[in-house]
């Protein structure tokens, strides 16, 4: 018998990416992409998802009855049982039933997971964690999320929120965080934190090549612009990355000392674009962690890049 295939969908803050994936080897057969935000009132998330999925299936040249189903990894909180996107602050939507309408439309099983969970599943099966049964995946972008693999299985915790490394406290009573807390790692080491640090320096009169590249009200800064600024030794960008990497080093130290993973896999936009960030964070973590795990824990880059989300989402069907 031939290989099994499924559709994997990466539902992110800025785009929806769908791929038909070969579940036996993780290879991508076809891909389709659309912007998430239409900016119009009639914007319909489910409709948009169905268009992207339809396009990917059509391009694969396969008929729906050859597919095992559709897996979706969404940037937000999900109800896996009911197939409902509960809260997605970055997509700007709440309580959207996703699985039911897509199941009816495509006559296929549809499964919903969280974006970090499925990206970890992808790295575990076909990426940087495929030969390792105890590791942690950490993704650094707009926010910071992580997935824990224990004994070869995803560890979801007592109520399904395990791995919220972005909300470990690194500064008591520090900066406010989107979660309602203060001093969380995400507020100091994410790309958003780097952007805010740049905005702060600019407001204090320091000049930077990033002056026109950063949105001061929203704190948005592209990883690529940041990487270019670092290449040109821009002092504001360098200071911001040093600071963020320092705090990520503290976060990694906590993970290493507490969980003693065999490996830490680092992925996400900031890791991909700015090698210096991971270098500095690793240095800090190795210097601070307990002596034995400081030497033994492998710290490596994720391997599936932009497709970790779609490959991992498809794996929800395997």
Residues that bind Zn ion (CB under 5 A): 167, 177, 179, 181, 184
CB of 170 to Zn ion, least distance (A): 10
Q: Which is nearer to Zn ion, 89 or 179 (CB)?
A: 179
Helices 191-203/235-259 angle, 10° precision: 140
Q: Which is nearer to Zn ion, 210 or 252 (CB)?
A: 252
CB of 167 to Zn ion, least distance (A): 4
CB of 197 to Zn ion, least distance (A): 17
CB of 268 to Zn ion, least distance (A): 17
Q: Which is nearer to Zn ion, 54 or 181 (CB)?
A: 181
The whole-angstrom separation of Cα 316 and Cα 122 is: 10
Residue 208 sits at the vertex; the CA angle it makes with 206 and 212, to the nearest 5 degrees, is 120
DSSP string, 135-170: EEEEEESSSEEEEEEETTEEE--SSS-TT-GGGSBS
Picking from 160, 189, 170, 166, the residue whose alpha carbon sits closest to that of residue 280 is: 189
Picking from 292, 291, 279, 293, the residue whose alpha carbon sits closest to that of residue 249 is: 279
CB of 233 to Zn ion, least distance (A): 32
CB of 219 to Zn ion, least distance (A): 16
Q: Which is nearer to Zn ion, 111 or 167 (CB)?
A: 167
CB of 184 to Zn ion, least distance (A): 3
Q: Which is nearer to Zn ion, 70 or 144 (CB)?
A: 144
Q: Which is nearer to Zn ion, 69 or 145 (CB)?
A: 145
Q: Compute φ and ψ for 290, nearest 5 degrees.
A: -55, 150
CB of 159 to Zn ion, least distance (A): 17
DSSP string, 186-224: HHHHSHHHHHHHHHHHHHTT---TTTTTSBTTTTB--HH
Q: Which is nearer to Zn ion, 59 or 164 (CB)?
A: 164
Picking from 223, 139, 154, 230, the residue whose alpha carbon sits closest to that of residue 185 is: 139
Collect all residues with Cβ–Cβ distance below 8 Å to 181 and sequence separation of at least 6.
167, 169
Q: Is 305 left (phi over 0), alpha (psi -120 to 50) or beta?
A: left
Q: Which is nearer to Zn ion, 121 or 184 (CB)?
A: 184
């Amino acid at each position: 018998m031939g290989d099994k295939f499924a559709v994997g969908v990466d539902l992110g803050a800025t785009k929806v990416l769908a791929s038909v994936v070969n579940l036996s080897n993780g290879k991508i057969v076809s891909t389709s992409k659309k912007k998430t935000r239409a900016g119009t009132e009639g914007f319909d998330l489910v409709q948009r998802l169905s268009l992207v999925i339809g396009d990917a299936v059509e391009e694969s040249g396969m008929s729906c009855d050859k597919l095992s189903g559709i897996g979706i990894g969404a940037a937000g909180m999900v109800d896996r049982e009911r197939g409902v996107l509960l809260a997605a602050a970055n997509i700007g939507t709440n309580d959207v039933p996703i699985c039911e309408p897509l199941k009816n439309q495509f006559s296929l099983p549809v499964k919903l997971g969280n974006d970090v969970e499925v990206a970890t599943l992808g790295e575990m099966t076909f990426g940087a964690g495929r030969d390792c049964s105890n590791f942690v995946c950490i993704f650094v972008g707009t926010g910071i999320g992580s997935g824990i693999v224990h004994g070869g299985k995803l560890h979801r915790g007592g109520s399904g929120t395990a791995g919220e490394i972005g909300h470990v406290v690194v500064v008591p009573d520090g900066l406010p965080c989107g979660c309602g807390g203060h001093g969380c790692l995400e507020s100091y080491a994410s790309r958003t934190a780097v952007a805010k640090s740049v905005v702060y320096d600019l407001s204090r009169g320091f000049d930077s090549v990033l002056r026109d590249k950063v949105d001061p009200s929203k704190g948005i800064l592209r990883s690529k612009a940041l990487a270019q600024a670092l290449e040109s030794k821009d002092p504001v960008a360098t200071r911001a990355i040093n600071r963020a990497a320092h705090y990520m080093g503290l976060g990694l130290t906590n993970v290493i000392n507490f969980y003693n993973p065999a490996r830490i896999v680092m992925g996400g936009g900031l890791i991909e674009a700015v090698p210096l960030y991971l270098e500095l964070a690793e240095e800090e973590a190795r210097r601070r962690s307990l002596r034995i795990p400081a030497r033994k824990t492998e710290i490596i880059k994720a391997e599936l890049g932009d497709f970790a989300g779609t490959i991992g989402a498809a794996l929800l069907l395997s």
